[in-house]
Amino acid sequence: MSEQDRFEDDLLYAITRTGEGFHTEQAPLVAGGLDRGRRRWRRRSAAAVVGGAAALALVGTGAVYFSGPSPAGTALAAAGPGSGSGAGAGSGTAGGSASPVASASPSAPAAVITGDEVLATLQALLPAGRTTGGSGRGTEPSGKPGGAPLVTANLVLDDGKGQAAVGISVSRIPEGDPGLAENTCPDKKYVPYDACTATTLPDGGSLTVFQGYEYPDRRVDTKWWNAKLVGKDGRLIELSEWNAAAEKDSPVTRATPPLGAEQLKAVVTDRSWDRIVAAIPVPAPVKPRKTGKEYSQEEILAIAAKLLPAGLTETETGGEEGFADFVVNDGKGKSLVEINVQDRSGDAERGSDFAGAQQLPDGTKVVSRKTPGNPVMWTVDTLRPDGLRVVISAFNSGSQRTPATRTAPALTMDQLKAIATGPAWKLKK
């Protein structure tokens, strides 16, 4: 894991537990569960409403970090009632059937596409209504060596049933970046939603249509619906909409966003985007981060299963490289368990999180903490002399996003420690 990736994981984890008794020295703990799963899936979705490239985006906390211009939700909220335009029905209207996605040329890009052209393309594909506050960003150079621009447009649509913020982003996925290309529904243990479908298109591309909420804890009823298309030609097109005039901090204006699932699909798969995709330079390839030393999700689950107390079985499993999660139930209710396994052997600062830690006879450092919240999180973080770091957390709920369903996690602190320090975890050479 690179220092940048570790920084992102630590920062995202810190944000999620802020206000719930979070301690800064535990920032690296369980960075994989809620944050990696959502970062991998939601981070690209956030680009749909950003006027520039998003560095980090986190749903559910109200905190968003950007390296580019402000999020469109803010821009939309600040936009006054400009001269509205009717959203016409283009050749691929949102109510019609989706056209096949044509491949864009991977060679030299076409002429520059302006932000106004991107905005006009979006408007032509939306249902009839009045649009205000529209803005767009075209294929101007990103200013980053080897980088490609993120093309965006956003507006407020009123189809007669109330105002709704709508935003789209069009970009290209760098070769060798499987994380951006992954296009599946999120794990409900971390991202609650009402509906989500993931399909493979006839041309081999993939499409996800998601219907959920801006705030997973439902503290307000702002709904966030999103369609994400990953094309075989490397295109990444995402459309987002809300049932409010802005992504955040705006009153709900209608029961649901204006476009249904089929309409969302029709917009992102329309061939009107072909010329815009063709105008985006092919980004520089991304070098794979795999070193062959990471534990796979399956390996982590297999080892953990053998270390669980008698009577407990892994269910509702999930995860990714370096991280796994599962749910156990001892008869008193579900309890989510998360495990991170990291190779920190090359990290000169790897011991900085273990000041004052308990040290075992073999030199392993152990930090234990009970973090308050609803649900609570009990964590044991271990670092072995060779640099292998194993972190395990358990919750008194079957999800990080649902209230406590039991008084304490199903695993005691001693049991968590026994799993994290088990001899089966070994640094891969």
How does DSSP assign 41-89, residue by residue? HHHHHHGGGBSS--SEE-SSSS-EE-SSSPBHHHHHHH------EE---
pTM over 0.75: no
Residue 67 near residue 236, CB atoms below 8 Å: no
How far is Cα 52 from Cα 167, in angstroms, rounded to an integer? 12
- Calculate ∠ Cα 163-59-64, nearest 5°: 90
**pLDDT-derived band of residue 188, with 50, 70 and 90 as boundaries?**
confident
- The percent of residues above 90 in pLDDT, for the chain, comes to 55
Q: Is the pLDDT of residue 46 over 90?
A: no
Query: 192 vs 57, which has greater pLDDT?
Result: 192
Query: 83 vs 129, which has greater pLDDT?
Result: 129
**Residue 209 CA from chain centroid, whole number:** 14
How far is Cα 214 from Cα 71, in angstroms, rounded to an integer? 14
Query: 11 vs 395, which has greater pLDDT?
Result: 395
Q: Looking at the domain covering 290-420, what would its CATH class be?
A: alpha beta
Report strand pairing: 315-320 vs 323-329: antiparallel
- Name the nearest CA neighbour of 248 among 219, 216, 222: 222
Q: Is the pLDDT of residue 43 over 90?
A: no
pLDDT of residue 332: 95
Query: 275 vs 83, which has greater pLDDT?
Result: 275
Least confident of 178-182, 335-339, 408-412: 178-182
* 133 CB neighbour count, 10 Å cutoff: 22
**pLDDT-derived band of residue 394, with 50, 70 and 90 as boundaries?**
very high
Task: Quote the tokens at residue 14.
Answer: 């810190």
pLDDT tens across 277-333, in order?
Answer: 999 988 888 776 656 678 999 999 999 999 999 999 999 999 988 999 999 999 999
Task: Quote the tokens at residue 406.
Answer: 């039991």
pLDDT of residue 291: 60
Which residue type is seen at 15?
A: I
Q: Is the pLDDT of residue 152 over 90?
A: yes
Residue 1 near residue 17, CB atoms below 8 Å: no
**pLDDT-derived band of residue 401, with 50, 70 and 90 as boundaries?**
confident
Compute the chain's Rg from CA coordinates: 23
**First and final CA of the chain: distance in angstroms?**
15
Residue 328 near residue 410, CB atoms below 8 Å: yes
- Name the nearest CA neighbour of 327 among 353, 354, 347, 301: 301
pLDDT of residue 355: 85
Burial 277-289 (b: 16+ CB within 10 A, else e): bbbbbbbeeeeee
CATH 3.40.1000 positions along the chain are 290-420
Query: 359 vs 78, which has greater pLDDT?
Result: 359
pLDDT of residue 372: 94
Least confident of 91-100, 145-154, 241-250: 91-100
How far is Cα 201 from Cα 312, in angstroms, rounded to an integer? 40
Average pLDDT score over residue span 148-163: 91
**pLDDT-derived band of residue 45, with 50, 70 and 90 as boundaries?**
very low
Query: 349 vs 145, which has greater pLDDT?
Result: 349
How far is Cα 403 from Cα 384, in angstroms, rounded to an integer? 34
- Name the nearest CA neighbour of 135 among 113, 152, 157, 159: 152
pLDDT of residue 288: 66
- The percent of residues above 70 in pLDDT, for the chain, comes to 69
Task: Quote the tokens at residue 426.
Answer: 């070994």
